[in-house]
Structure formats: C-alpha cells, structure tokens
C-alpha cells in the first residue's frame, strides 16, 4: 500500500493542532485535531483560496449556534435546524461547498457546550476549531509540496500507452471485445481524473517572477498533451463503436488505417518521451513526410471508396467520423510537437522540466 503526501500532511496537521491547543491551554484539544483533518487541502493554491472561506463558514456556524442555544436551548431539533440554516446561508453567500462539513462540526461542538458559562465554553471551542484550520493551513503551505507536474505526466503517459495498446490490438483483430469495453469505461474515468489533476497543476502559483513565464508555457504544453491524449482516446472509441463496419471494409483500406495509426501512435509516444529528455532529436524529415503521405493515401483511398459500386453509402457515412478523427489526431500531434520543440528551443533558462522518475507502486 502506498501512502500519499496528503495522508502524511493530515497526520502532521493533527499533531500540530493538538500540541498548539495544549500549549495555549484550550480543552479538549481533540476538537482542534478534528478541524485540522477536515481543513487539509490538496494544493497550496487551494489552501490560500479556502482559508478565508473556512473561517467565514465557521463564524457563521458558531454565531448561529450561540444565538439559537441562548434562545431555544440545546434540544436536538434545534441543532438540526441550525445546521440546515447554516448550510443555506453558506450556499447563499457562495462560499465553497467544501467548507460545509467543518461548519457543521463547529455548530455541533458549540451547541453541545455546557449550559453553565455557555459563552465562555462556546468561545473556547470555536477557538479550537480556528486553531485546527490554521494548523492545516501552515502544514499544507510548508511541508511536502505537491508534485503535480510529475503526477500528471506519468498518469497521462500511462493512459496514452493503454490507449495505443488497445488501438493496435483492435486493428489487428486481437482485442477481446468485452475487455475492450470494460477498459474503455475505465479510461473514461481516467480522463476525468486527468482533467482534475491538470486543474490542480494549473492552480499552483509561482511566487518568484523568474518562474512565472516558464510555468505559463508548461501549462499550455500540458493542456495540449491532455487534448492529444483525449483525441487518441476518441479515435479508439470511434473504432470500437464501428468495429463491424470497419472489419467489412476492403483489405487495402483496413491496412492503410492500421499503418497510419501505427505511425501516429509512434509519433505520439516519441513526443511524450522527448519532453522528459529520453528522446533528444526531432523526428526525421522522412518520418514526418511518411505521416503526411499516409494521411493523403488514407483520405484519397476512403474518398474513392465512395464511388465504388460495391460500397454501401450508409456504411461509408457511418465510418467517415472515425476516419476524420484519425486526421484530427494527426493535427493535434503536430501542434503538440511544435509546442515541445518551441519549449526546448526558446527561453531555455526559464523552461525547466521538473518531472521526476515515477515511484514504484
């Protein structure tokens, strides 16, 4: 089992909050630890983004809790009513929904304070919550910064390799249809995870001006990497969806599709490896020319197939989107290759690749 950085940071935030609560003499310190566990965030940027909203949401919960306890008492239905009201207010003022669980914890802790010296106990417990929030903020800011560039690159590379493998198996008629459908569903989920990871990477801010423009260029580059990976996945899904019709095409058309996709997938793999320095040079002019000739041959062959008397027009039109996606895949690859080439050709001092070797699972 692999323990991620967020797990360690959660534990560290709990330790810090407990020690600080004990040091300032607030009881019970477990409330600070509870708040710290809820408040930990996946990125430094989100830590900055949510700290103020977490404090605001907790103030809303604490104020409502105090008012309702002093007015209606500690009855369970009163606690439930305050929780509903607090959630409604938080959503109304457009605070992050992620602040709601901690606000609910604050309400329950405050409203369950003893009736004697209620204000004093409620204030103390609210301060414990704030200690937990700030402990999580400091730990997230100072310890084990996330390496989203490394995570994004390796997860994108793995997804691309899976897509390429299935594409080649399909074209050679070696793919198991049930396993392919199952893996396409898994890859659909993986694309969503890649989108979320890219957003986390994009959100990370550079606090030094010299790194600002280099990071901006990498964001553009990774966005195109993601677009290209998604396009390769769209090609695979189009092929799988039209498998029966594709396998009924003339042999020369099937062979041309297989050859062109073999060229494009090798081109794709080469570009990704070049980004991390495993491939140093640009593809040879002969390789680029071969890919362009393959596109021309495939499109000419497929267009001529339309006038073939043996061709079923509805079948031809049904396969056309798959062929057009292959052409678009090449266009996205060419754009990605241009971006990678520009990244390593200009502003060399600013453009630094920080992808590290993937850790063993």
> So what's the pLDDT on residue 34?
79
Query: How many whole angstroms separate alpha carbon 241 and alpha carbon 258?
Result: 16
Coil/strand/helix, residue 173: coil
DSSP 187-199: HHHHHHHHHHHHH
> So what's the pLDDT on residue 79?
85
Q: What are phi and psi of 58, to 5 degrees?
A: -70, -35
Can you name the CATH fold of 148-345? Methane Monooxygenase Hydroxylase; Chain G, domain 1 (1.20.58)
Question: Domain boundaries in the chain?
Answer: 5-142, 148-345
Query: How many whole angstroms separate alpha carbon 86 and alpha carbon 107?
Result: 9
Query: How many whole angstroms separate alpha carbon 193 and alpha carbon 57?
Result: 28
If you ran DSSP here, which 8-state letter would residue 99 be given?
Answer: G
Give the C-alpha distances (Å, rounded to integers) separating 150 from 157, 276, 297, 321: 11, 10, 38, 34
> So what's the pLDDT on residue 35?
78
Query: How many whole angstroms separate alpha carbon 293 and alpha carbon 256?
Result: 11
> So what's the pLDDT on residue 355?
60
Separation of CA 17 from chain center: 29
Burial class of residue 103, CB neighbours in 10 A (0-12, 13-18, 19+): buried
Query: How many whole angstroms separate alpha carbon 3 and alpha carbon 361?
Result: 10
Give the C-alpha distances (Å, rounded to integers) separating 113 from 73, 74, 80, 120, 298: 11, 9, 16, 9, 75
Burial class of residue 296, CB neighbours in 10 A (0-12, 13-18, 19+): exposed
Q: What is the pLDDT along the chain (361 residues), one digit of tens a residue?
A: 455 667 778 888 888 888 888 888 877 888 788 778 777 777 666 666 677 777 788 888 888 888 888 888 778 888 888 889 989 988 888 887 778 887 888 888 777 766 666 677 777 877 888 888 888 888 877 776 667 788 888 899 999 999 999 999 998 888 888 999 999 999 999 999 999 888 888 876 555 445 566 677 888 999 999 999 999 999 999 999 988 888 888 888 889 999 999 999 999 999 888 888 777 666 667 788 889 998 999 899 888 888 877 777 788 888 889 899 999 999 999 999 988 888 877 655 555 555 656 554 4
> What's the CA dihedral at 90, 95, 99, 104 to 10 degrees?
-10
Query: How many whole angstroms separate alpha carbon 251 and alpha carbon 257?
Result: 10
Helix axis angle, 209-241 to 148-171, nearest 10°:
20
Give the C-alpha distances (Å, rounded to integers) separating 222 from 89, 218, 267, 336: 38, 6, 17, 9
DSSP 300-352: HHHHHHHT-TT--HHHHHHHHHHHHHHHHHHHHHHHHHHHHHHHHHS-TTT--
**Predicted TM-score of the model (pTM):** 0.72
């Amino acid at each position: 089992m692999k323990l991620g950085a967020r797990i360690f940071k959660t534990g560290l935030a709990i330790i810090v909050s407990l020690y600080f609560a004990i040091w300032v003499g607030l009881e019970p310190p477990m409330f600070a630890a509870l708040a710290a566990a809820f408040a930990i965030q996946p990125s430094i940027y989100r830590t900055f983004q949510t700290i103020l909203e977490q404090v605001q949401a907790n103030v809303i919960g604490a104020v409502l809790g105090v008012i309702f306890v002093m007015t209606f008492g500690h009855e369970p239905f009163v606690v439930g009513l305050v929780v509903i009201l607090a959630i409604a207010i938080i959503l109304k003022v457009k605070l992050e929904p992620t602040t709601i669980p901690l606000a609910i914890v604050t309400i329950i802790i405050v409203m369950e304070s003893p009736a004697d010296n209620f204000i004093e106990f409620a204030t103390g417990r609210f301060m414990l919550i704030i200690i937990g929030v700030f402990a999580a903020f400091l730990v997230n800011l100072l310890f084990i910064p996330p390496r989203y560039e490394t995570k994004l690159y390796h997860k994108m590379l793995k997804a691309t390799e899976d897509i390429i493998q299935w594409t080649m198996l399909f074209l050679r008629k070696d793919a198991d249809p049930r396993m392919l459908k199952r893996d396409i569903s898994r890859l659909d989920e993986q694309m969503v995870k890649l989108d979320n990871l890219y957003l986390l990477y994009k959100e990370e801010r550079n606090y030094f001006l010299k790194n600002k423009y280099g990071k901006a260029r990498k964001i553009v580059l990774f966005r195109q990497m993601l677009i290209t990976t998604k396009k390769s996945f769209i090609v695979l899904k189009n092929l799988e969806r039209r498998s029966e019709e594709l396998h009924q095409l003339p042999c020369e058309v099937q062979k041309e599709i297989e050859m062109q996709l073999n060229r494009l997938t090798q081109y794709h793999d080469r570009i990704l490896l070049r980004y991390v320095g495993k491939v140093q040079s640009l593809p040879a002019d002969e390789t680029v020319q071969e890919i362009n000739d393959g596109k021309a041959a495939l499109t000419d062959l497929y267009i001529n197939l339309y006038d073939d008397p043996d061709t079923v027009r509805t079948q031809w039109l049904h396969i056309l989107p798959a062929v057009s996606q292959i052409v678009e895949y090449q266009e996205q690859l060419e754009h990605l290759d241009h971006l990678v080439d520009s990244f390593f050709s200009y502003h060399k001092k600013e453009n630094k690749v920080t992808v590290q070797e993937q850790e063993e699972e």
